[in-house]
Chains A and B, each alone.
Chain A
Amino acid sequence: MTAETAARTTRPELFAEIAGIIRDVTGQCDEWAARIAPDSALEGDLGLESMELVDVGARLRDRFGDRVDLLAYVGGLDIDELIDLTVGDLVAYVEAA
Chain B
Amino acid sequence: MSRYLIVTLPLAGHVYPALGLARELAAHGHEVAWAGSEMMLRPLVGPDAVVFPTGSRLFREQGGSGMAAIKSLWVRFIVPYGKFILPGVAKAVQAYEPDVLLVDQHAAAGALVAHRHGLPWVTLAVSAMEITAPYRSLPRITGWMDDQLRTLWTNAGLPADEFVDPRNSPYLVLAYTTPELLGPIELDHRVRLVGPMMTERPGLPDFPDDWLDPDRKHVLVTMGTLAKELATDFYGRAIAGLAPLAEQVQTIVVAPPEDLPSPPACVMITRSVPLLKLMPQLDVVVAHGGINTVAEALSNGVPMVIAPIRHDQPVVAAQVAAAGAGLRVKFGRVRPAELAAAVTTVLGDPSYRAGAAAIAESFRTAGGATEAVRQLERLQQTMSDRTSFVVQHSPHALA
Complex contact A79–B66 (CB within 8 A):
no
- A74 in contact (CB, < 8 A): yes
Q: CA separation between A75 and B141, bound complex, in Å?
A: 8
Complex contact B138–A75 (CB within 8 A):
yes
- A78 in contact (CB, < 8 A): yes
Q: CA separation between A44 and B140, bound complex, in Å?
A: 20
Which residues of chain B have C-beta atoms less than 8 A from A28's C-beta? 333
User: Known contacts being A49-B314, A74-B138, is A79 close to B333, with CB within 8 Å?
Assistant: no
Which residues of chain A have C-beta atoms less than 8 A from B139's C-beta? 75
Which residues of chain B have C-beta atoms less than 8 A from A26's C-beta? 330, 333
Interface residues on A, range: 10 to 19
Type the 1/0 row for A39-68, where 1 means its CB is closer than 8 Å to any CB of B.
Answer: 000011001111100000000000000000
Chain A-chain B contacts (Cβ-Cβ < 8 Å), number: 49
Complex contact B332–A47 (CB within 8 A):
yes
Which residues of chain A have C-beta atoms less than 8 A from B68's C-beta? 43-44, 83
Q: Which of A51, A74, A77, A79 contacts B314 (CB 8 A)?
A: A51
- B288 in contact (CB, < 8 A): no
Which residues of chain B have C-beta atoms less than 8 A from A76's C-beta? 140
Q: How many chain-B residues does the 8 Å CB contact rule pick out?
A: 19
User: Known contacts being A44-B64, A74-B138, is A79 close to B332, with CB within 8 Å?
Assistant: no
Q: CA separation between A12 and B138, bound complex, in Å?
A: 30
- A71 in contact (CB, < 8 A): yes
Q: CA separation between A76 and B314, bound complex, in Å?
A: 22
Complex contact B314–A83 (CB within 8 A):
no
- B171 in contact (CB, < 8 A): no
- B49 in contact (CB, < 8 A): no
User: Known contacts being A79-B67, A83-B68, is A47 close to B333, with CB within 8 Å?
Assistant: yes
- A34 in contact (CB, < 8 A): no
- A14 in contact (CB, < 8 A): no
- B144 in contact (CB, < 8 A): yes
Q: CA separation between A49 and B139, bound complex, in Å?
A: 19
Which residues of chain A have C-beta atoms less than 8 A from B330's C-beta? 26, 47, 49
Type the 1/0 row for B49-73, where 1 means its CB is closer than 8 Å to any CB of A.
Answer: 0000000000000001111101100
Which residues of chain B have C-beta atoms less than 8 A from A49's C-beta? 65-66, 314, 330
Complex contact B66–A75 (CB within 8 A):
no
Q: CA separation between A76 and B64, bound complex, in Å?
A: 22
- A97 in contact (CB, < 8 A): no
Q: CA separation between A44 and B67, bound complex, in Å?
A: 9
Q: Which of A50, A74, A75, A79 contacts B144 (CB 8 A)?
A: A79
Q: CA separation between A73 and B333, bound complex, in Å?
A: 27
Most B-side CB within 10 Å, residue of A43, A51, A76, A82: A82
User: Known contacts being A43-B68, A82-B67, is A51 close to B318, with CB within 8 Å?
Assistant: yes
Which residues of chain B have C-beta atoms less than 8 A from A74's C-beta? 138
Complex contact A43–B314 (CB within 8 A):
no
User: Known contacts being A44-B64, A50-B314, A51-B318, is A78 close to B140, with CB within 8 Å?
Assistant: yes
Which residues of chain B have C-beta atoms less than 8 A from A75's C-beta? 137-140
Q: CA separation between A71 and B139, bound complex, in Å?
A: 12
Closest to A85 in B: B67
**Which residues of A from 1 to 60 have beta carbons under 8 Å from B?**
26, 28, 43-44, 47-51
Complex contact A78–B144 (CB within 8 A):
yes
Q: Which of A43, A47, A79 contacts B140 (CB 8 A)?
A: A79
Most A-side CB within 10 Å, residue of B65, B67, B134, B333: B67
Closest to B134 in A: A50
Closest to B145 in A: A79
Closest to A74 in B: B138
Q: Which residues of A contact B (CB under 8 A)?
A: 26, 28, 43-44, 47-51, 71, 74-80, 82-83
Q: Which residues of B contact A (CB under 8 A)?
A: 64-68, 70-71, 134, 137-141, 144, 314, 318, 330, 332-333
Which A-B residue pairs are the 7 nearest by beta carbons?
Answer: A43-B66, A47-B332, A83-B68, A78-B140, A82-B67, A83-B67, A79-B144
- Name 17 interchain pairs, CB-CB below 8 A, sorted by A: A26-B330, A43-B68, A44-B68, A47-B330, A49-B65, A49-B314, A50-B66, A75-B137, A76-B140, A78-B140, A78-B141, A79-B70, A79-B71, A80-B71, A82-B141, A83-B67, A83-B68
List 18 other contacts, CB 8 Å, given A43-B67, A49-B314: A28-B333, A43-B65, A44-B68, A47-B330, A49-B65, A50-B314, A51-B318, A71-B137, A75-B138, A75-B140, A77-B138, A77-B140, A78-B140, A79-B67, A79-B71, A80-B71, A82-B141, A83-B66
